[in-house]
Structure 1
Amino acid sequence: MMTVLAELNKDGIIFNTITIKGELLYNDILLLSYKIDYPEFNTAYKNSETEINMFYKNRAFEYKKHCESELFDAAVRQYRSDMENGYPIRVFEAVSTFSVSYALSCIISLYTDTYEYTGGAHGSTFRDSQTFNLQKGYVMSLSHLVTCSPDYRAFIFGYITEKAAENPDLYFDNYKELIPSTFFKNNFYCTPDGIVIYFLQYDIAPYSSGIMEFLIPYSECVINPANLCISRKI
């Protein structure tokens, strides 16, 4: 089943939320449910808009295919094992949602959280993100936005380590070593206040701490991405 929510206008860029839902049964018993949200943008930059919309649509349907094949197969195997051992049925679940964190001038930034429960003690959430310059037609990188000395990675590691030290109990004991070793350059998104760097579950902290986020405010060397748009500066 597919549904489209009413259009939302976030800072001048319009987008729809399109939802794909499904329930998969085996022997008339529900074993897996999934819900996948993905965006459809309406902007002044039609070439970039078309490519971005196709990217998220294709990705959503690829994940639907994954749910209906690999994930459902795993749910059936788990069901058979549970029946053999007298365990209660554990219904698998997959939920993918997105958040548009920045939409201004020629810039769109968003992240997607994908949660899966596959019969264990708890589910897990994976996050990925993209920041687009619609005017120039490319995905932005941290090196476009963070120009601080001595280099963007050293600046980010120092900033995050300092912030983590304010609440060290949230992190693994060796978080200072884990910050640079688990850092992934694409794990960021933009907000009106700054750039958020995030670490996935278990990267630098236990499951109970969740996905760890660090907001780096805009400054002379942390660039507000809308300032890179030719038609509009803020």
Structure 2
Amino acid sequence: MQTIINNILQDTMYYHNMPVFIYKINYPSFGTTCSKAAAQKINKHYTRAARAAEAFCRTELYNQTVKNLRYRQPDGPVQSYTFDVVYEITYNLGCITSLYIDTYRFMGGAHGETKRTSDTWDFHTGSAITLNDILQLSSISLHNLHQCIAQQIRERLTLSPGSYFDDYSSLLLDNFDLANFYLQDNKIVIYYQQYDIAPYSTGIPEFYFPLPSPISLLE
């Protein structure tokens, strides 16, 4: 079993004494009863990622913020841009932990954008568990998976017309990413990014499948 400590990198950055860019990066570190070496490997992964995100904020995003401010109307409002990273632990049983990370960026405009990533870890080895490790995917089973997602969309459209793009069937195939999954309770959650298959108002579409019993062999 894993214990989780939350870590934060954050700052408010100024331009001409005005707060113009705020970032807050949450990232986990793990303790485990499985393998300390594995936990150290996984912790280094998240520490490096968080520091890289902070460097990106302090250079590229801050410079972009300043550039945007220079082009605003002289008497126009000063808008603080933001970069936020949050994570959610969705499965933590035995030596397996699964989580997703949402990175939200607002750099002006009507609304910001959220990018989701996810990881499922084996704390015996410190290695990532893939969707293929769990489902043993073949061309036939992958086709069936896509058909199940399409069926879930059809059911949702009956309740909420317009919540997916009209050509969602082809977009499902074009934008499918084997890395876009996480575990939750007794199910696998497969997701698509914003705008991949649905308008902004739908958010990040998620689709649910029973978690096969062989996962217990990994715990």
Residue 131 of structure 1: how far off its partner (Å): 0.6
2:65 counterpart of 1:75: yes
2:11 maps to which of 17, 22, 27: 22
Using structure 1 for the length normalisation, give the TM-score: 0.87
CA distance in 2, matches of 1:94, 1:135: 33
2:188 counterpart of 1:195: yes
CA distance in 2, matches of 1:187, 1:104: 20
8 Å Cα contact 2:118/2:179 also seen in 1: yes
Deviation beyond 3 Å, 4+ runs, structure 1: 147-152
Equivalent position amino acid for 2:166 in 1: D
CA distance in 2, matches of 1:148, 1:61: 35
Structure 1 counterpart of 2:203? 210
Residue 21 of structure 1: how far off its partner (Å): 1.2
2:171 counterpart of 1:171: no
Identity, % of aligned positions: 33
Question: Which structure ranks higher in relative contact order (CA pairs < 8 Å, sequence separation ≥ 6)?
Answer: 2
Counterpart secondary structure, 2:71:
helix
2:120 counterpart of 1:131: yes
Residue 46 of structure 1: how far off its partner (Å): 0.8
Residue 179 of structure 1: how far off its partner (Å): 0.7
8 Å Cα contact 2:11/2:22 also seen in 1: yes
Residue 137 of structure 1: how far off its partner (Å): 3.2
Structure 2 counterpart of 1:153? 142
CA RMSD, aligned part only? 1.5
Residue segments in structure 2 that go unaligned for 5+ positions in a row = none
Which stretch of structure 1 is more off in the superposition, 117-126 or 152-161? 152-161
Residue 36 of structure 1: how far off its partner (Å): 0.6
8 Å Cα contact 1:92/1:119 also seen in 2: yes
Tell me the matched-pair count. Answer: 214
